């Protein structure tokens, strides 16, 4: 496959803090890429650079072998479309949301209507033309956003956490749509996600980011940066900035922790246990992993939890369900 995008010695800094440093990365035409990494790894920054929405601080970015600084950025942005985690739709009909960009390009009405129907069919939303955006589910909003992007005939589709706020059935639909778009329309697709299983189901190649750099192996799950806060002689807390987690003993040099998803207990109410860490939250994502179900629980930080499918069903859990998560301090890995 031919090279479509190529990055060499790319860095990006904000307020003198470097958030991205990529020595070399090639995006090939017609491939599907997954981008993984913990919060703050640089995934969204990389997507914004690839979408030509922000410029790198240094380095060379090429499109089809040509330096993007020599090309028209407005033309390039028509070739690459970024769909954010929470896509913004106008408070209007699906029709008006999708044809908006076509009107801006002065596409004739007959052609706009043809494109509208074709794109809605591609995302499984035929007949939704007159539905209003506020009536749609999370998965339907994502699909309308994809249809809106497809209406502009992009070569590359970038998606930032597309299954956040999408239920189980909606995730399956989105994955099928993305596979079909890649296979039949030859659209290059790049998906940033926390979902290990999804990224391997979809991708030809997985890019692992850690501290803004490409890593050779998968990052640990539930990996958080922060600092030690000493509360008293028997309790040491690790502060992520959004959450304080109890550690088994003082570690002066700890800057990161990882919490294994399998060591976390999910319950409807606080449970009586010797575990020092218990937090209230809500389920933000549900993913089927065969015999297991993977949950993202928002407790201030987003925490991945794995439970058996039987437990998931018996507890009647779903997207948005309020829950408690509990884990022992001894299960936490420190770095």
Q: Using the predicted structure, report yes or no on whether residue 198 has a pLDDT greater than 80.
A: no
Rounded distance between C-alpha atoms, residue 106 and residue 97, angstroms: 15
Strands 213-215, 66-67: pairing kind: unpaired
Over residues 151-163, the pLDDT tens digits come to 999 999 999 988 8
pLDDT confidence band for 216 (50 / 70 / 90): confident
Please report the pLDDT score of residue 251 as a whole number.
Answer: 59
User: In whole angstroms, what is the distance from residue 281 CA to residue 322 CA?
Assistant: 6
Task: Say which CATH topology domain 3-215 has.
Answer: Rossmann fold (3.40.50)
pLDDT at 265 > cutoff 90 = yes
Residue 8 has pLDDT above 80, yes or no: yes
Contact 259, 306 (CB under 8 A): no
Digit-coded pLDDT (tens) for 111-128: 999 999 999 999 999 999
Q: For the whole model, what pTM was predicted?
A: 0.76
CB under 8 Å to 1, separation ≥6 — which residues?
28, 29, 30, 31
> Which is more confidently placed, 271 or 11?
11
Domain ranges of the chain: 3-215, 223-334
**161-175 mean pLDDT:** 81
Fold matches, 3-215 and 223-334: no
Task: Answer yes or no: is pLDDT of 325 > 70.
Answer: yes
CATH-assigned architecture of domain 223-334: Beta Barrel (2.40)
pLDDT digit string, tens, across residues 231-248: 666 778 999 999 999 987
The tens digit of pLDDT for each residue in 29-86 reads: 999 999 998 878 899 999 999 999 999 999 999 999 999 999 999 999 999 999 998 8
> Does the structure show a pLDDT above 70 at 252?
no
């Amino acid at each position: 496959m031919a090279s479509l995008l190529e990055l060499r010695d790319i860095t990006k800094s904000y307020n003198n803090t470097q958030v991205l440093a990529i020595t070399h990365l090639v995006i090939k035409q017609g491939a599907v890429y997954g981008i993984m990494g913990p919060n703050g790894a640089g995934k969204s920054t990389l997507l914004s650079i690839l979408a030509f929405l922000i410029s790198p601080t240094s380095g060379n970015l090429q499109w089809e072998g040509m330096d993007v600084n020599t090309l028209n950025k407005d033309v390039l942005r028509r070739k690459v479309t970024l769909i954010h985690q929470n896509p913004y739709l106008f408070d209007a009909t699906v029709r008006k949301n999708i044809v908006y960009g076509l009107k801006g390009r002065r596409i004739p009405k007959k052609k706009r209507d043809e494109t509208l129907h074709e794109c809605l069919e591609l995302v499984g939303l035929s007949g939704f033309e007159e539905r209003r955006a506020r009536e749609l589910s999370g998965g339907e909003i994502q699909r309308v956003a994809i249809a809106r992007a497809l209406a502009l005939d992009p070569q590359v589709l970038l998606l930032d956490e597309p299954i956040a706020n999408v239920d189980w059935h909606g995730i399956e639909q989105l994955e099928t749509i993305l596979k079909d778009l890649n296979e039949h329309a030859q659209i290059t697709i790049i998906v940033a996600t926390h979902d290990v299983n999804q990224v391997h189901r979809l991708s030809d190649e997985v890019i692992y980011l850690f501290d803004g750099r490409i890593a050779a192996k998968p990052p640990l799950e539930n990996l958080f940066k922060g600092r030690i806060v000493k509360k008293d002689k028997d309790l040491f807390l690790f502060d992520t900035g959004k959450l304080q987690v109890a550690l088994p003993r003082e570690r002066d040099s700890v800057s990161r922790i990882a919490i294994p998803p399998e060591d976390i207990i999910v319950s409807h109410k606080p449970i009586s246990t010797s575990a020092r860490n218990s937090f209230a939250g809500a389920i933000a994502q549900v993913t089927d992993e065969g015999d297991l179900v993977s949950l993202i629980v928002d407790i201030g930080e987003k925490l991945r939890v794995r439970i058996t499918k039987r437990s998931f069903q018996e507890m009647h859990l779903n997207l948005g369900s309020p829950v408690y998560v509990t884990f022992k301090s001894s299960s936490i890995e420190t770095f």
